[in-house]
Amino acid sequence: MDTNDTTPLMDEVEKHVRKLIKPLKDEDELKKVLKVKLTKKEFKVLNAWANEDDIKPLLEKLSLDEDRYGELSLKLIKKLNQEKLKQEMMI
């Protein structure tokens, strides 16, 4: 895979991370890191954002209300911006 190829998940992560010093790892590597570091719900929400899925059915499936979803989203974005996680996501 060419390093210039971005994927929806990579794009989504880049959208939320404030400062990326190096490029992100490729899709498979990135998924592995995120699956370990994020909760299942956070990972599913991030994936839904990346694939521009309708969030409503996912929220029902995960039994999240709007408030809880808002908190989860904020926590997710905070996590993506933690130095330690950013290091692991980058090449």
Task: With beta carbons less than 8 A apart as the criterion, state whether 38 and 76 touch.
Answer: yes
State both tokens at 56: 């409503």
20-34 b/e (C-beta count within 10 Å ≥ 16 → b): eeeebbbeeebbebb
- Please report, as a single letter, which amino acid is at residue 29: E
For the chain, which residues make up each domain, given as ranges? Answer: 11-86
Nearby residues of 13 by Cβ (< 8 Å), 6 or more positions away: 24, 30, 34, 46, 80, 89
Query: pLDDT tens for residues 48-70?
Result: 999 999 999 999 999 999 999 99
The structure's pTM equals: 0.90
pLDDT in tens, 13-52: 999 999 999 999 999 999 999 999 999 999 999 999 999 9
